[in-house]
Structure 1
Amino acid sequence: MTLPRTLPIKRAAHVYLVRDGQLLLVQERMDDGSIFYGLPGGKAQPGETLGAAAVRQVRYETGLTVTDLAFVSLLEGELLAGTRNECYATFGRFTATAHGELDPTDPEVLGVRWVPLAEVESLVRYGPPPECEERNPLIWLPTCDFILGKARTYYPI
C-alpha cells in the first residue's frame, strides 16, 4: 500500500481592489533584492477564515479597511513542487470596497501603488521559485483573468 505524502498546508487570501481602472498592488523586497509586486493579502492564521484573513491582511499591508467582501475564486493544489517550500496551497481571491488612506503598517511592505489594469502584468517578474510562489505564472493567471473580466471560480495549481 502506498501512502500519500503529507505536505504542509498554506492558506492565504488576497483582495482585488480596483479604483478608476487601477488595481492596488503592494511592493515588497525579495531576498535577491528585487522588488516584488503582489495583491494585498496574506496567510490565514490557524482557525481563521479566508475572508477574515483577507480583511486583516489588507488592513496591515495597506492601511485600508475593506467591506463588502465578495468571493471571486479559489486556487488550490501543490505549489513549489520539488523545492524546500513545497506545500499544498489554498488561496482565496476576493473583491471588496476599500475605505481610508493608504498607510501600511507591515514592515515588509515598501509601498502601495495603484496600477492601471493594462500595466499589471508588466510588473510581474516570472522566475524560479522557491522564495516567492507569486512569481509562478499559475498564481498570476487568475489575476490576468480577473482583469479581462473572465475570472473562474476555481483554479487548480
Structure 2
Amino acid sequence: MSHLSRTLPMKRAAHVYLVRDGHLLLVEERMDDGSIFYGLPGGKALPGETLGDAAVRQVLVETGLTVTDLMFVSLLEGELLTGTRNECYALFGRFTATFHGEIDPTDPEVVGVKWVPFAQVESLVRYGPPPEVEERNPLIWVPTRDFVQGQPRAYYPI
C-alpha cells in the first residue's frame, strides 16, 4: 500500500487557555498508571461538532465554568503517534475565552482544577510513556509554552 492511499482516523480536539492574573487554569486527571496528568481544559470534538462547540462543552464538564466569546489562538495539524495503534491525523484548536461560574468539575476523570502561575506551567508537564498518550508528546505543549511566553503562533504543523 502506498503512503498516499493510507487513511488515518481524524482526531479533532479543542482546548482553552483560561487566564486570570498571570495564571493559567489546568485540570488534573488521573492516568491509567495512577499518575497525575496536568492538561488544558478541553478535549475531543464529537462527530459533527465544531471545535468551538467542543471547547465550550468540554470546559463546562471539566471545570464547571461557562465560556463565551471564544477567540482563536492556534491550530496544531498533522500526523500524530505514527506507527502506534492510536495513530491519527490531528486537528487541535486552541482558544482563549471569557468565562464565568464556579469551579465545579463533573467529569469523573478530573481530580482537581488549579490556577497555575505562567512561570510554573511547563514544570508540571510530564513527557514520556506510554507513547499512545498524545498529551505527553512534547509537540503538543509547544503552543502552550509560546502562549505563556506571550508569543503564540497561529499555526503549528506537527
| TM-score grouping bracket, smaller chain normalisation | over 0.9
* Residue 138 (structure 1) shift: 0.2
Q: Are positions 1:74 and 2:62 aligned together?
A: no
Report the counterpart of residue 125 of structure 2 in structure 1.
124
Letter of the 1:32 partner, please give it.
D
Map 1:135-146; keep pairs closer than 5 Å: 135-146=136-147
Q: What is the TM-score normalised by the length of structure 1?
A: 0.97
Runs (4+) off by over 4 Å = none
Q: Report the Cα distance in structure 1 between the residues aligned to 2:135 and 2:66, rounded to whole angstroms.
A: 24
1:31 equivalent in alignment to 2:36:
no
- SS of aligned partner of 1:141: helix
Q: CA deviation at 1:130?
A: 2.9
Q: Secondary structure at the match of 2:85?
A: coil
- Please identify, of 76-85 and 111-120, the stretch whose mean Cα deviation from structure 2 is larger: 76-85
What runs of 5+ residues in structure 1 fail to find an aligned partner?
none
More divergent stretch after superposition (121-130 vs 100-109): 121-130
SS in 1 for 2:5: coil
Q: Percent identity?
A: 83
CA RMSD of aligned residues (A): 1.1
Which of 58-67 and 77-86 deviates more? 77-86
Q: Matched residue pairs, number?
A: 157
TM-score of the two chains, using structure 2 as the length reference = 0.96
Correspondence list, 1:7-156, <5 A:
7-156=8-157
- The code of the aligned residue for 1:146 comes to F
Q: Contact between 1:127 and 1:136, CA under 8 Å: does it hold in 2?
A: yes
- Cα distance in 2, alignment partners of residues 125 and 34 from structure 1: 10
Residue type at the aligned position of 1:135: R
Instruction: Extract unaligned runs of 5+ from structure 2.
Output: none
